[in-house]
Amino acid sequence: MPFGGLREFIIFIPAILIALSFHEFAHGFVAYRLGDPTPKYQGRLTLNPLAHLDPVGTLLLLFAHFGWAKPVQVNPYYFEGDKKRGMMIVALAGPFANILLAYVGALLLSFMLREVLPFNGLVAVFLQALVQINLVLAAFNLIPVPPLDGSKILAGLLPGKTADFIYRMEQYGPILLMLLIITGTTQMIFRPIVAALAQIVFIATGISY
């Protein structure tokens, strides 16, 4: 959603804060439910945006329309059962939370458009921003490049040695990710994911796409 003025810019900020907070809270909550106390000890089991913001990732979300939050630290050795599967579930939780928020935002917007709810221009702009930023955040994190969630999801589906290789690549992940961002490769990868997620959400809520 390109900014149409200061009003839209200001409305976009709370949408970003909500999206980032729910994404990281979902990671922490699922990890905690699987037995890892680390997110609780680090104060990440909260929807307070201040606990989750990453300065660079937040600025990119605001101005480049893709980005990230401060990652929740997870210790899979606390997980009961298959630790690789546990990491995959934790990784899935963040994008799933964003897709769910996008669905709720689109559903409320569809109710306004159908006059089930009273139409309010400011609220409609906010809901549009909420849908977009959550779809973008989900899609960006589904890119299978360390340290993004997509790499952990992919590792959870691959055999042990291949999965271990992906986990080891996390130390080089930020450098690789920045190279992909600078070259524009991330846009090529995640735009089709955004389009696919948007189509699913809009079809599910009855909004023409």
Domain contains 209: no
Domain contains 97: yes
Bond preceding residue 37 cis, omega within 30 of 0: no
Q: What is the pLDDT of residue 61?
A: 72
Domain contains 64: yes
Percent of the chain exceeding pLDDT 70 equals 95
24 among known catalytic residues = yes
With contact defined as beta carbons under 8 Å apart, do 99 and 201 qualify? yes
Number of domains in the chain: 1
What's the rounded Cα separation, in Å, for the pair 173 and 166?
A: 10
Domain contains 1: no
What is the Cβ-side half-sphere exposure of residue 2, based on CA atoms within 13 angstroms? 1
Residue bearing tokens 């609780």:
40
Over the stretch 192-203, which tens digit does the pLDDT of each residue have?
A: 999 999 999 999
Domain contains 156: yes
What is the Cβ-side half-sphere exposure of residue 73, based on CA atoms within 13 angstroms? 7
Domain contains 23: yes
DSSP string over 82-111: -HHHHHHHHHHHHHHHHHHHHHHHHHHHHH
Q: Does pLDDT of 4 surpass 60?
A: no
Domain contains 85: yes
**Its pTM surpasses 0.75:** yes
For residue 36, what are the domain limits?
6-203
Domain contains 27: yes
Over the stretch 22-42, which tens digit does the pLDDT of each residue have?
A: 999 999 999 999 999 999 999
Cβ neighbour number for residue 196 with a 10 Å cutoff: 12
What's the rounded Cα separation, in Å, for the pair 196 and 88?
A: 21
Q: What is the pLDDT of residue 1?
A: 46
Over the stretch 76-120, which tens digit does the pLDDT of each residue have?
A: 999 988 999 999 999 999 999 999 999 999 999 999 988 888 888
Q: What is the pLDDT of residue 193?
A: 92
The catalytically annotated residue of 24, 80, 115, 170 is 24
